[in-house]
Structure formats: structure tokens, C-alpha cells
Homo-oligomer: A and B are copies of this chain.
Amino acid sequence: MEIELRLKIEDLFARYVHCLDDDRLEEWPEFFVEEGRYRVTTAENLERNLPLPIIYADSRAMMRDRVAALRQANIYEPQRYRHTVSSLLINRVDAGSVRAVSNFHVVRVMQTGDSMLFATGRYLDRVRIEGEGGLPQFEERVVVLDSRAIDTLLAIPL
């Protein structure tokens, strides 16, 4: 049972990553429950309990708006991410949900071919095990960046 649970969470994480790295941003909100929360912050802000996330959404509707804005405004240079995610730890919260921690390295690849290590950090998640369609979904995903020195034009969700 615990093994199946673990593999379901790993599968969720892998689908999430490929959705972003394939630039299928319109599908991104579907990884969350309807009232799901998404936040990008820095380790420093988290430690000091500063309430200023870099990106914030507290519903799928808000996430959809964000994606629509990204597509329409098109302010950012064409770019892609490539994630690696590892070191997943899972803790049960209750019968219906788990907390998870994992590490990520994200490389950003520009259309010119330049690529760079763009962001590193942790995902702090709360996952509903049986979301829509029986698949797990994020109740909350907090992206904790290690460095505050990140491109302020940060646009694509991480």
C-alpha cells in the first residue's frame, strides 16, 4: 500500500515536470485541486517568515489567468525549463493526504541555445491522494528557491 502510494506521488511529480518542460502550461492548473495553492518563495523569506511570495495563486482560476497572461503578453524571451527532481520524502497527514518534500535543479534553455542552471530548491507539497479521476492532486505546492538572486522576470511556473 505504502509502495503504491509512493509510486503514485512519483508519477504525479513526473507528469507535472514534463507538463512544464514541454511547455504545456494550459494543463498546469489541472495538477491542483480547485482551491489549490501555488507559491514561489525563497529560503530566506521562508525562514524569516516574510509573506512576500514571488508568485502566488490560491485557486485554479488564478493559475489559468496567469497562464493566459503569459501566453498573451508574451513578454518573456522564448525559453524552456529542464527539471531534475529527486530525494522525495513522504509523510502521511491523514487518510486522504500526504506532505512531501523533494529537491530540484532547473536548467533554463533559451531559444538562442544558451542554457544555464536557473534555479535550485525544494518543493514543499501537500497532496490529496485521491483527486479528480482518482489521481493525486496538489492541495498546495510551495516552491522554495535557494537563492534570492533569481531573474525577476521569472515567468513560467516551476
| A interface list, Cβ under 8 A from B | 3-4, 6-7, 10-11, 13-15, 17-18, 21, 43, 80, 82-89, 101, 103-105, 107, 109, 112-117, 120-122, 146-149
Minimum CB–CB distance for A105 against chain B, Å = 5
Could you list some 5 contacts between A and B, CB below 8 A?
Answer: A14-B86, A14-B89, A82-B146, A83-B86, A84-B86
Residue among A11, A85, A146 having the largest count of chain B Cβ atoms under 10 Å: A146
A82 to B109, Cβ gap below 8 A?
Answer: no
Q: What chain B residues lie within 8 Å of A4 (beta carbons)?
A: 3
Minimum CB–CB distance for A90 against chain B, Å = 9
Q: Which 9 A-B pairs have the closest CB atoms?
A: A113-B149, A109-B146, A14-B87, A82-B120, A17-B87, A84-B86, A113-B147, A107-B120, A14-B89
Q: What chain B residues lie within 8 Å of A83 (beta carbons)?
A: 86-87, 103
Minimum CB–CB distance for A31 against chain B, Å = 14
Q: What chain B residues lie within 8 Å of A7 (beta carbons)?
A: 3, 6
Q: What chain B residues lie within 8 Å of A122 (beta carbons)?
A: 21, 82
Q: What is the bound-complex CA distance between A121 and B114, given in angstroms?
A: 13
B89 to A11, Cβ gap below 8 A?
Answer: yes
